[in-house]
Structure 1
Amino acid sequence: MMTNGQIQQFKQFSTFPSLGEFNQAVKKWMHTYGESFTKGEKVALIRLTRYCVKVVGVANVKIGTILKVIHEEFGGHGISRSTFKRMIAKAKGIGMIKVIELKRNSGGQSSNLYVFQPYPTDPSEVSKKISAQASPQTTSKQVKSSNVSSSQSIELPNREQMNHHKAKENIKTNPQEKEITKRKKSADHTYTSDAVPSSFKHLAKSFFDCSETIEELWKMVRISAYQHSFEKDPQIMLQVATESFKQTVRAMKKKTIRKPIAYFYGVITKKFDEYYVSQIAEMTVSEKADHLSPSIQNVHWLYA
């Protein structure tokens, strides 16, 4: 076990020639495996990368230090130690990070050394890791299904069970409840919440003249923007939402889309990904952070 010391003594473990290449590697890792991490785990990972500047891709920091900084940064809303450890376990599992245990000069275990790894150049390696992550779930399903004996007979439902829905239909509904339901269904775009930008409401009403649907569409925009840290950029949110909605409408005219809102969410998530990558790609380490949107300044690891 190695002894703890100044971070410069661990230069031999760095696998990146520059901070730019480290940035690109982390971006590729998260593009492929980002969905495997929760929001809290992503916050922990981003904070850890900010300690990888002096020796590119290598961090030697106490877990308690990271938790304290996150707690202060988010106004008392931090993450737990277990969340940080889960993030490390996931990152190790996909090959993104190697953890080296260190000891104090006086004896006893010290803070770990976290060494980030380059993104694999061989696509087959990525496929193997993705398959390895999915295999435990498949195995558990197979075990559950194997516990069911093929000789067991299946009991068919009786007539009363099959007709239970007819009994529910016979239950009388309060006339007042019927009227409220009718009003809710017939509420057009004029009943849309003020939280939805007027320009998006006017665009959406041409195809979905229903306040509930329009609000649900904008809810998808807010969720995706929050996941990509654009929730504080209303101009970007509106621009991406408009482009995504138009693309969804074009798709609806060409083919049958059973779930338009889900399709819209998929489009807008992809566009936020592209928008984020395009902004980061235009930046270099020497450029000032104020060229980026405020939300990206808060999360991007280059501006630690």
Structure 2
Amino acid sequence: MRAGNIYQFKYLSQFRSVKEFNEHKERYLQLYPDQFTHSEFIAFEVLTQFSVVVPGVANAKIATLVSACQGKQGGVSRATFVRMLRKAKTTGFLTVHKTYRSSGGFAHNVFVFQPIDTFMKTQMNYRANSEHHTESRSEEIFTAPETEKLFLNLQNTDKNICLEDNVSALHAPSSTSFENLDYSFVPDTVPQTFIQTVRPFFNLAAEIFTFWEKALMAYRQLNLYQPIEHMTDLVIHAFKTTVFQYKHRKIKTSFIAYYYGTLITMLSAEKRKEHLTDSSVPRYNWLDAENTYSSSL
């Protein structure tokens, strides 16, 4: 991503107005009231203040942001600011992109805040709840075959992630009737292969649609050339990776946040491939240059 002024990154904004951005910010702080220390909260506030010209997007170097914190109750250190960024990224509320100069080398960062979908809360406090699982239950989880059958053949509801004690089901509080619709009600815009992959774990239409919406959000954020329909296999792979990590107790945040982070990582790799194959990017042909030089001698 090339460096530029803030309006160059307007397409990354996920909010229609500053008011909407502030509402999601407040909702985030309500969901994670103990997320930041006092100093980290100062850093968080400064970053959000830099994110109002284009709602939810800021482009600045960390040194600039740290300097802006100095007038806030004594300021914060760079290490504190970086810890705040790491926590905000871990929960899925913030993504950070690096930019590069035309002459080469890294420039400023681009910070992009994401909407908070309260109906998608899937807090999996596995460390706190793992003590309540029986020994046979734990053995069942860890001895499950690490193959595709793990994702497609979980017919026994005891093995279904959606029904485990430490998983709160995704739901839409504004629509009680929609909560109870099964996978057959998922809109046709969601690929059937994706539905069939997700349904053994999350059988409700609202849950499946939520996961696909997250994929669309990550896709739009990275502005890829190829359509999302051509990347269904990659999205499925991201979901399977998240399930695998969850079943091995590797996820320290929420299932949905880990899934979204995995999507960003995989789609970013695709974006880099697109950049390398883009014929509009000038490349120096060393072989032709050498031949030209030899013939001139």
Between Structure 1 and Structure 2, which shows a larger proportion of helix residues? Answer: 1
TM exceeding 0.5: no
Q: Greater CA radius of gyration, 1 or 2?
A: 1
TM-score by length of 1: 0.41
